[in-house]
């Protein structure tokens, strides 16, 4: 269901997995936000330099530049935008992974597999304050 309070919000999703990008397109499409997809860190940095985003969802493990390094580079461009890690590597590694996410400039973590409710709840929490 489209949420009119979120209709003008723009979200960047950085994910190297095509199925993950497709899933996020379906979820974000339901609530009405504009979604921009990137396949990797370098492309994400270019997008953040060129466009204004309200929220970034960031995969952690990607080829070439991982989500930690990408987030550190984005923080040099924009210190305020919320960056939420989405990762399958959280199970059993919570404390170490959370610390590394915070240290790289991220604001939160969602564990894969994420439900549509997890994602929409995080969007609402970050963007409707």
pLDDT digits (tens, 9 = 90+) for 43-97: 999 999 999 999 999 999 899 999 999 999 999 999 999 999 998 765 556 566 7
Domain that holds residue 108: 4-127
CATH of residue 84's domain is 3.40.50.2300
**In the predicted structure, residue 37 carries a pLDDT above the cut 90:** yes
Give the chain's domain count: 1
Q: Are 14 and 83 in contact (CB under 8 A)?
A: no
pLDDT digits (tens, 9 = 90+) for 92-122: 565 667 888 889 999 999 888 889 999 999 9
Please report the pLDDT score of residue 56 as a whole number: 98
Please report the pLDDT score of residue 41 as a whole number: 96
pTM (whole model) above 0.85: yes
pLDDT digits (tens, 9 = 90+) for 6-31: 889 999 999 999 999 999 999 998 89
Q: Residue 109's closest CA among 120, 94, 124, 121?
A: 94
Question: Counting Cβ atoms within 10 Å, is residue 92 exposed (0-12), middle (13-18) or buried (19+)?
Answer: exposed
């Amino acid at each position: 269901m489209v949420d009119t309070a979120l209709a003008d919000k723009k979200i960047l999703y950085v994910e190297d997995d095509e199925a993950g990008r497709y899933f996020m397109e379906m979820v974000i499409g339901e609530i009405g936000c504009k979604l921009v997809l990137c396949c990797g860190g370098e492309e994400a940095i270019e997008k953040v330099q060129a466009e204004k985003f309200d929220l970034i969802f960031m995969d952690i493990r990607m080829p070439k530049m991982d989500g930690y390094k990408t987030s550190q580079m984005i923080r040099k461009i924009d210190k305020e935008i919320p960056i939420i890690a989405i990762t399958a590597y959280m199970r059993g590694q919570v404390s170490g992974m959370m610390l590394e996410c915070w240290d790289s400039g991220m604001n939160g973590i969602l564990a894969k597999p994420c439900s549509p409710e997890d994602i929409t709840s995080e969007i609402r929490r970050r963007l409707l304050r």
